[in-house]
Amino acid sequence: MLVEPLELPSAQLSELRKLPGCTAIYFVIDSNHRILFVGQAVNLLTRWKNHHRIYQLGEINKDYPVRIAWQTWNQDSLEEAEISEWQGLT
């Protein structure tokens, strides 16, 4: 499946409650359209309630507004999803 992260539905980092509770591949994107982080979640909303990068991304968000874009995914094939092709924060 070809995924175009910049064309996916998204929510601002400051509005995480708007994320759906679906299984998804997600992309953290700043206002310069840079993909900062790529991940996967069985429940996107729950994942972001305690995400390990939330503070780091919050600092970036002060200068370059950050959003989380997502592509819904089949939970059974989530582990097989190739997310390594996108670069992000190290």
Residue 47 lies in a domain: yes
> In the prediction, which pLDDT does 82 show?
61
| Whether the predicted pLDDT of 79 surpasses 80 | no
**10 Å Cβ neighbour count for 56?**
14
Interval 39-60: pLDDT, tens: 989 999 999 998 899 999 999 9
Map tokens 């200068």 to a residue. 63
pLDDT over 60 at 1, yes or no: no
Domains: count for the chain? 1
Q: Quote the CA–CA distance of 44 and 72 in Å, as a whole number.
A: 9
For residue 72, being part of any structural domain is answered with yes
Would 25 be classed as within a structural domain? yes
Domain span at residue 55 reads 11-77
Residue 22 lies in a domain: yes
Q: How confident is the model at residue 22 (pLDDT cuts 50, 70, 90)?
A: very high
Side by side, the strands of the sheet bearing 10-12 are: 10-12, 66-72, 24-30, 35-41
